[in-house]
Amino acid sequence: MRPFEYVSPYSRKQAISLLGPTWGNTEVLAGGTDLLALMKDDVVTPKRLVNIKDIADLRGISSDAQGLRVGALTTLGELADNENVKKNYPSLSEALLEAASPQIRNMATIGGNLCQRPRCWYFRNGLGLLPKDESGKELVEAGENRYHAILGNQGEAKFVSPSTVVPMLIAYGAKIRLEGAKGKRELPLEKFFVIPKTESEREHDLRPNEIVSEIVIPPASDLKAAHYEVRQREAFDWPLAVAAVTLKMQGSNVQSSRIILGYVAPVPWPSPEAEHAMSGKPVNKETAQKAADAALAKATPLSHNAYKVKLAKVAVDRAILKAAGGTA
């Protein structure tokens, strides 16, 4: 780890003023479960760390007419165990409980979960987010891409978006609230994730002097939902494919749906194709399979990850069937 300055403000305003206008100099520190590892590995090297854990009003879970409001500092563990979440967003609770380990969930915050950096092993080994060698050769394309993107990978970004929780949040229609030097903004969560085109860009629509303040999840009582991960180990593991589904039913047919894939693209990957395929249809093996095929129809696997196309289909298929079988 390199030397850095550590500041611990008590208000959002102070925090924002301590953050720099460009990436590279300052970083927000929440639970530290990701950032500290990146700093120890010399991948991220801030000169100043702005700890936000002392900002009391970034904590807490409440609900109002707009839905559930979750402060950015809420830990994954708190969120998973929240009675309101367990009752009204059970698939979110399930997705959270499948993430990481109990120890990590007790430290990791939801804000940090949205902003965590990709797990791409080239990135984590200090070879860059869009890794190239001196000659400009793209390392992922030429190398070990078994865990990399199969969709949205036509540009230089080949990593996959790391959160296993975000697809479910997007499927539930979550919005993200940000606060920065230029004021407050709110975005649909899916719009928060972007595919970087140059090494100096990040994979979030987050400005360097902005913080995530909270997320808002609209009421979901009329939705059937499910989360499904394909992963190799039962013990903590990064998945090979994730699917999150919410279905709004009309009688026994799907009126509308959200079908979001994870671990397939540099961003969480909503599939309008799959949503369209389910629209007006009953949920059964055949329709679920068709939706899964539609979701992956445009997949462009790399040299070593064609198998992920199959796994992503299985995830979509199983998530749809699981959602229909469940209640919320």
Partner 1 sequence: MPDYAWPDAEHRTLIGKRTTRVDSPLKVSGQAKYTYDVHRPGMLYGKVVRCPYAHAKVVSIDTSAAEKMPGVKAVQVVQGPGSNIHWAGDEIVVVAAIDEGTAEDAMRAIKVQYQQLPHLVSDAEPPAGSAQEQGPLSLDDIGDMFDNQVPPRQIVSQIQQYGLSEKPTDDALKEMKEDGAPDEVLEALRSATIHPEAGKGTPSNYQKAATQTTGDPDKAFAEAEVVSEGLYGIPLITHCCLESHGSISEWTDHDHVFTHISTQNVSGIAGQMAEPLNIPATNIHVHQDNVGGGFGSKFSPDRWGIFTAEISKKADGKPVRYMLERDAELKVAGARPSAYARVKVAAKRDGTLTAWQSNSWGTGGPGGGGMPPIPYVFSVPNQRLEHTAIRNNIGPARAWRAPNHPQAAVLTMCALDDLAAKLNMDPVDFFGKNLNLTKARENTYREELAVAAELMGWKEKWHPRPQAIDGIVRGVGLSMHTWGGRGHASDCDLTIYPDGSVELKMGTQDLGTGTRTCILVVAADTLGIPMEGIQLLIGDTNYPPSGGSGGSTTIGGVSSSTRRAAVDARDALFAKVAPALNAEPDQLECKNGRLSVKGDPSRALSWKEACSKLGAMPITVRGKNPDRSKPPDLTNSGVGGVQMAEVEIDSDTGVVKVRKMVAVQDCGFIIDLKTAETQCYGAMIMGISYSLYEEKVMDPTTGRMLNPDMQFYRLAGFSDIPELVVHMMTGKGYDERGVIGLGEPPVISPGAAISNAVANAMGVRVPFLPLTPDRVLTAFEQKGRV
Ligand X SMILES: Cc1cc2nc3c(=O)[nH]c(=O)nc-3n(C[C@H](O)[C@H](O)[C@H](O)COP(=O)(O)OP(=O)(O)OC[C@H]3O[C@@H](n4cnc5c(N)ncnc54)[C@H](O)[C@@H]3O)c2cc1C
Name the residue nearer to partner 1 (CB basis): 162 or 180. Answer: 162
Instruction: Name the one range near partner 1 by CB under 8 A: 66-74, 173-181, 308-316, 320-328.
Output: 308-316
Please say which residue, 10 or 236, places its beta carbon nearer to ligand X: 236
Binding segment for partner 1 among 56-64, 72-80, 144-152, 218-226 (CB under 8 A)?
A: 144-152
The option from ligand X, partner 1, none interacting with 124 (CB < 5 to 8 A, set by class) reads partner 1
Instruction: For partner 1, give the closer residue by CB, 69 or 146.
Output: 146
CB of 221 to partner 1, least distance (A): 32
Write out the residues near ligand X by the rule CB under 6 A. Answer: 27-35, 52, 72, 99-100, 104, 107-109, 111-113, 115-117, 163-165, 206, 211-212, 236
Taking the C-alpha atoms of residue 274 and residue 4, their distance in angstroms, rounded to an integer, is 47
Question: Least distance in Å: CB of 268 to ligand X?
Answer: 11
- Which residues 6+ apart lie within 8 Å of 47 measured at CB? 4, 5, 25, 26
Q: Burial, 8: exposed, middle or buried (Cβ in 10 Å; 0-12, 13-18, 19+)?
A: middle
In the complex with partner 1, the residue whose CB is nearer, 122 or 172, is: 122
Name the residue among 151, 141, 143, 205 with its Cα closest to residue 178. Answer: 205
25-29's contacts with Cβ under 8 Å and 24+ in sequence apart are 25/208, 26/50, 26/208, 26/209, 28/52, 28/115, 28/211, 29/53
CA dihedral 313, 315, 320, 325 (to 10 degrees): 140
**Residue 49 interface partner, choices ligand X, partner 1, none, CB cut-off 5-8 Å depending on type:** none
Structure tokens at 128: 């860059």
Gap between the Cα atoms of 216 and 212, Å rounded: 12
Pairing between strand 5-7 and 26-29?
unpaired
**Inter-CA distances, 115 with 72, 194, 281, Å:** 11, 12, 36
How many residues appear in the chain?
Answer: 328
Task: Retrieve residue 163's tokens.
Answer: 């959160």
**Which residue, 117 or 258, is less far from ligand X as judged by CB?**
117
Please report whether residue 320 would count as binding partner 1 according to CB under 8 A: no
- Give me the least distance between CB of 301 and ligand X, in Å please: 23
Which DSSP category does 328 fall into?
Answer: -
Could you say whether residue 125 binds partner 1 (CB under 8 A)?
Answer: yes
Q: What residues between 188 and 247 interact with partner 1 by CB under 8 A?
A: 230-238, 240
If one asks whether residue 304 binds partner 1 (CB under 8 A), the answer comes out as: yes
Residue 83 interacting entry, from partner 1, ligand X, none, C-beta within 5 to 8 Å by type: none
Q: Which residue has the tokens 């550590």?
A: 6
Which residue's CB is nearer to partner 1, number 4 or number 23?
4
Residue indicated by tokens 């030397």: 3
The nearer residue to ligand X, 182 or 248, going by C-beta atoms, is 182
Binder of partner 1 out of 60, 62, 103, 142 (CB under 8 A): 142
Residues at the contact surface with partner 1, assessed by CB under 8 A: 1-3, 41, 119, 121-122, 124-125, 127, 133, 137, 139, 142-144, 146-147, 230-238, 240, 304-305, 307, 310-311, 314
